[in-house]
Amino acid sequence: MNRTKILLTLAILGIFLASCGCMDSSEPENKGNEGDNGVLTITDSYGRQVVVANEIEHTICIGAGTLRYLCYLGEQDTIVGVEDIEQWKESIESPERPYRIANPQFGDSEKYPYIGAFRGKYDAESILTLNPAPDVIFYSFSNAEDAEKLSSDVGIPVVGLNYGNTGDGNMKQSLQIMGKVMDREQRANEVITFFEEEIAELNERTKDKETPTAYIAGISYRGSHGILSTQPDYPPFEYVNVNNVASKIGKTGEWQGYQVGDDALFNWDSKPGIDYMFVDLGTYDFSENGNTHTNEKYGIDSFAAGGVYAELDAAKAGKLYGVMPYNWYTTNHGNVLADAWYVGKVVYPSEFQDVNTQEKANEIYSFLYAESPVNEDIYETMTDNFGHEFGQISFE
């Protein structure tokens, strides 16, 4: 090839490379979360277009569950203030929410000032005094109008999130939105995949098996409740294909929970029969005066000798088992999975003989809080604080 042809070839190659940007050293590197002019526009769960900085250093979380999700993503160090629930006496001395066990630093009121009461009752004046100021606020269990008001009140971008149930679309969307804002999209997808794979394995182990019946007693909801508090779509039963005898009941009363009638357990015990009784361990804290907005009268002792439900077949057979509460400042998704593995182990022992449920629970928490200050032995800490653990309930 002569010199002219060589030069022509090089010129053509240069034009080609320049056209695809390969030779333009002035082009910024694509870092994944970088927007135009140093900002990023995202669509939040309420359908709002929110402009945030593409590098977030400081955050606060308002409303149930938002701080939990931020800890899932390993961004707990960006927090500059917390709601009062994180510094209640019991939260400091004996926390029962896994994310709070994993992050004991939130109890330090000097490092993490007050931003408002729990359940989203923010204090705009307190938020305005934070130093450093948050770059973004994550806000759950609200709506577009209230998110706009909060943003207007404090002059900080507010990203609204629909918290969601374990593994559902709202949960995934919220994690993805938060992941995008925090430049932790890979971690958000890892968390989503973790839940999908855990639920799929639970189902795989139990599908096509003879389906037992069960009742979940004492479901906690905004506090402890008696054994007639239940849940018709109890996820740990659904994940391991257990027939929930309360599957067709509806919500009752102003408290928006599920409460069955006095005779329901006797009726179900007769038909279709109740093979297993599982009890939310929050019931151990239940007293008749514990929730005045309900008319509850039966605690855990109603299964003991002489109790009103002592003659149920499952109670007489000793098939009464404790599971961890997961409704504590909305759904603790890790507890849902841990409970499902325990229910599976009890109901299908041959299919779960390789599973140590305590170790499995710790494996779940260690993954979810991998980047938190505490990510080992969370199950033991939590059950010590409950005063109970997975296991058969005995009244001896």
pLDDT band at 83 (very low <50, low <70, confident <90, very high): very high
| Position 153 pLDDT exceeds 90 | yes
The pLDDT value recorded for residue 77 is 98
Largest CA distance in the chain: 106
**Over residues 310-335, mean pLDDT:** 93
The CATH T-level fold of domain 196-392 is: Rossmann fold (3.40.50)
Average pLDDT, the chain: 87
The answer, yes or no, to whether residue 36 has pLDDT greater than 70, is no
Average pLDDT of span 68-84:
98
Residue 295 has pLDDT above 60, yes or no: no
Q: What is the pLDDT of residue 14?
A: 44
Looking at residue 385, its pLDDT comes to 86
Tell me the C-alpha to C-alpha distance, in Å, between residue 86 and each of 67, 121, 161, 222: 10, 14, 20, 16
* pTM of the full structure: 0.87
H helical segments located in the chain: 3-19, 66-72, 89-93, 98-102, 124-128, 144-154, 169-181, 185-206, 235-239, 264-270, 313-316, 333-347, 357-368, 378-386
Q: Point out the least confidently predicted range of 119-128, 138-147, 291-300.
A: 291-300
Mean pLDDT of 160-166: 95
pLDDT of res. 119: 87
More confident residue, 146 or 27: 146
Say what percent of the chain tops pLDDT 70: 86
What pLDDT is recorded for position 226? Answer: 84
Report the pLDDT averaged over residues 252-271: 81
Contacts of 209 (CB under 8 A, 6+ apart): 241, 348, 351
Q: Can you tell me the distance from the alpha carbon of 6 to that of 3, in angstroms, rounded to the nearest whole number?
A: 5
- The per-residue pLDDT for 253 is 57
Residue 252's beta-bridge partner residues? 257
Q: Token pair 């890979």 is at which residue?
A: 186
Q: What letter represents residue 182's amino acid?
A: M
The residue with greater pLDDT, 28 or 123, is: 123
Lowest-confidence region among 89-93, 303-307, 343-347: 89-93
Cα–chain center distance at 307: 35
pLDDT mean over 128-151: 97
* 98, 335 contact by CB (below 8 A): yes
Predicted pLDDT of residue 175: 98
Of 149-158, 198-207, 246-255, least confident by mean pLDDT is: 246-255
pLDDT at 20 over 80: no
The predicted pLDDT at position 28 comes to: 29
Q: Running DSSP on this structure, what letter comes out for residue 297? A: -
d(CA 50, CA 153): 16
Return the pLDDT at 24: 35
Query: Would you state the pLDDT for residue 271?
Result: 94
Residue 13 has pLDDT above 60, yes or no: no
Compute the 3-state secondary structure of the chain and give helix, strand, coil in percent, each to the nearest 5.
40, 15, 45
Residue 140 pLDDT > 50: yes
Q: Which of 32-41, 138-147, 152-161, 357-366 has the lowest mean pLDDT?
A: 32-41
pLDDT recorded at residue 7: 37
66 or 89, which is more confident?
66
Q: Which CATH superfamily is domain 36-183 in?
A: Nitrogenase molybdenum iron protein domain (3.40.50.1980)
pLDDT at 125: 97
Q: Which pLDDT belongs to residue 286?
A: 67
Stretch among 17-26, 140-149, 183-192 having the lowest mean pLDDT: 17-26
The pLDDT of residue 116 is above 80: yes
For CATH 3.40.50.1980, list the domain ranges present in the chain: 36-183, 196-392
